[in-house]
Amino acid sequence: MPEPLHPAHVHLAVALDGAGWHPAAWREPDARPADLLTAGYWVDLVQEAERGLLDLVTLEDGLSLQSDDPWTPDERTDRVRGRLDAVQVAARVAPVTRGIGLVPTAVVTHTEPFHLSKALATLDYVSTGRAGVRVKVSSNPAEYRHVGRREAPVLDRGDLQAQQVRDLFDEAADWVEVVRRLWDSWEDDAEIRDAATGRFVDRERLHRVDFAGRWFSVKGPSITPRPPQGQPLVTALAHATVPYELVARSADVGFVTPRDAADAAGIVGEIRAAQQAAGRAGETVHVFGDLVVVLDDDPAAAAARLRRLDDVAGAEYRSDARVFTGSAAQLADLLTEWAAAGLTGFRLRPATLPHDLVQVTGRLVPELQRRGLFRTAYEAGSLRGLLGLPRPANRYATARNDAAGAA
């Protein structure tokens, strides 16, 4: 099983959502609420993240309007409502960035793996090998009604190990498996492009995936050749045992929400044990800790800003992740402590945009660099390369070569 990375190899991601993760962020003086549905807004944010040499950005998405309650829609009009499609935003941003990874969110419960496999493969081509996906399951009844294909499961919100929950994550695991098979369904040298002989592809190097399971039956092959990374990055957010198992068996990166260093160590241990049980003990699976960040040079100013945001919102902000307020130096201390507990990276959620993103790129990153904990230049041309992940071998090429050798 991979050893925890040395803190010098800490990875950093930023999660971008609307005007920021605090519901009152859009009302800040430096916010750009009129620009939220423009390409330029997202280009500016991702280019700022790239200036900080971050490994990747994730782009939030969903199939229902945002709500303060994750289980049901609300009727509030004092919050940001409405968003652009995350995959298409990433595709727009890709040509004007060069080093940073682009990881849009996909609600896999309602999205066919064939459709997304080719969209993500296309994103990998457009970005020249910097694409990924954040796999998200849905139990929100509003999303089921929007799609209209099946009834939402009746879940006990407090029972995260119920069979209905396991079914959702088992379906997500099958979704990932189908997508990975489709990415492999073209061997790397399947395209011949030989005008003299009139052969554009070698049909022997295109493969049906022939996946048949409880939720999907997919023949294949894909219509898009194998992506530059072989397989774009697969990530998932996990809060409990069942989603930890999805990370362990299906993902390259898991985003988790520890309360402190001891909790982080326990989560990492649980994921590593599940990784071993899934037969992936020899593979690198990154575990990133999520934090909502409210950052200012003066820690008192950060705390005061959060209080002011809460007053404007009319309620104290609560999150599934720990909310950190303070200076970049204090955050660097916390990240160092959590990295020692086994986390290999961090996904930071800026409370307000652009303020807290600029604090990350302009204050936190230089502080980590001064401590020798973060890169000073992009050292790889692909997202997998940035994270030290190998380019996966093509399963069908390997099987074909093995069969030829046996013959």
The whole-angstrom separation of Cα 12 and Cα 289 is 10
Which two three-digit tokens encode residue 136? 């998200």
Burial of 351 (0-12, 13-18, 19+ CB in 10 A): buried
Go through the domains of the chain in sequence order and give each one's CATH number: 9-157+228-391 (3.20.20.30)
Q: What is the pLDDT of residue 402?
A: 75
CB atoms within 10 A of CB 270: 19
Of 175, 331, 164, 346, the C-alpha closest to 254 is: 346
Strand 286-295 to strand 345-350: parallel, antiparallel, or no bridges (unpaired)? parallel
The whole-angstrom separation of Cα 227 and Cα 209 is 16
CB atoms within 10 A of CB 251: 28
The residue-averaged pLDDT of 196-219 equals 95
Burial of 392 (0-12, 13-18, 19+ CB in 10 A): middle
Which two three-digit tokens encode residue 269? 């241990």
The mean-pLDDT minimum among 3-12, 38-47, 269-278 falls in 3-12
Q: What is the pLDDT of residues 333-375, one digit of tens each?
A: 999 999 999 999 999 999 999 999 999 999 999 999 999 999 9
Task: Specify the long-range contacts of residues 159-168, CB closer than 8 Å, at least 24 apart.
Answer: 160/239, 160/240, 160/241, 160/242, 161/240, 161/241, 161/242, 164/139, 165/139, 165/242, 166/242, 168/109, 168/137, 168/138, 168/139
Q: What is the pLDDT of residues 79-102, one digit of tens each?
A: 999 999 999 999 999 999 999 999
78 is in an annotated binding site: no
Crossing angle of helices 241-250/163-184, nearest 10°?
10
2 pLDDT band (50/70/90 cuts)?
A: very low
Percentage with pLDDT > 90 across the chain: 86
Q: Is the pLDDT of residue 4 over 50?
A: no
Q: Is the pLDDT of residue 322 over 50?
A: yes
325 is in an annotated binding site: no
Q: Measured at the alpha carbon of residue 291, what is the angle toward residues 285 and 294, in degrees to the nearest 5? A: 150
Q: What is the pLDDT of residue 3?
A: 42
Q: Is the pLDDT of residue 399 over 90?
A: no
Could you tell me which residues are beta bridge partners of residue 237? 255
